[in-house]
Amino acid sequence: MTFLTLAVATSLFLGPQIGLGLLEDEPSHRSRRDRALEAIEAKNFDAARDLIRKGMRERSSRRKDEWRIIEVRLLLADGQPKTAGLHAMRMVSLRPKSKQYAAALFLTGNAYEDIGRPSVSRTLYEEALAHETCTGGLQRAVEARLERLTRNE
């Protein structure tokens, strides 16, 4: 299964909001976030980078965490799994109390899958699934990835 196929399947499971939507959003924040996710899906990476750069100016650390997750999604979609994994793992290391913690673990696992390390991915997915912030669509996506890894062993 290619990354593109996985990305489409994951977005069908989660919609564009994986790990997001935890805050009562102001319309301007939600609009910018949605436009960034749409730009990533459309492979308009320059537009997505510009929106992410603007979003990272937010004062709220919770919102910055959302933008960090979007940035990791951009890097994965742009074929940069090593950089994406580093960004996501930095968030895991430095922001253990973040509402985006399980999403960061999940995306780190995605990056490890993309570079051919499914055993590391499995460990990260299991850790994400066990974390209290892994709920809803994210939980279903993690479970689906674990199931797929089990089928491919």
pLDDT at residue 153, as a whole number: 80
* Contacts of residue 76, Cβ cutoff 8 Å, sequence gap at least 6: 3, 7, 84, 107, 110, 111, 114
Indicate whether 9 belongs to any domain.
Answer: no
Indicate whether 8 belongs to any domain.
Answer: no
Predicted TM-score (pTM) of this structure? 0.81
- What totals of helices (H) and strands (E) does the chain contain, helices first? 8, 0
Indicate whether 59 belongs to any domain.
Answer: yes
Indicate whether 13 belongs to any domain.
Answer: no
Work out how many domains the chain is built from and give that number. Answer: 1
Token reading at 82: 């090593």
| Contact assessment for residue 111 and residue 84, using Cβ atoms and an 8 Å cutoff | yes
Token reading at 81: 């799994």
pLDDT at residue 152, as a whole number: 87
Which stretches within 17-115 are classed as H helix? 27-41, 45-55, 61-77, 81-94, 101-114
Indicate whether 18 belongs to any domain.
Answer: no
pLDDT at residue 27, as a whole number: 56
Indicate whether 65 belongs to any domain.
Answer: yes
pLDDT at residue 48, as a whole number: 97
pLDDT at residue 28, as a whole number: 63
Q: What is the mean pLDDT of each run of 10 residues along the chain (153 residues)?
A: 41 46 54 95 97 93 95 98 98 96 98 97 98 96 96 87
pLDDT at residue 78, as a whole number: 98
pLDDT at residue 71, as a whole number: 98
CATH of residue 68's domain is: 1.25.40.10
Domain that holds residue 101: 25-151
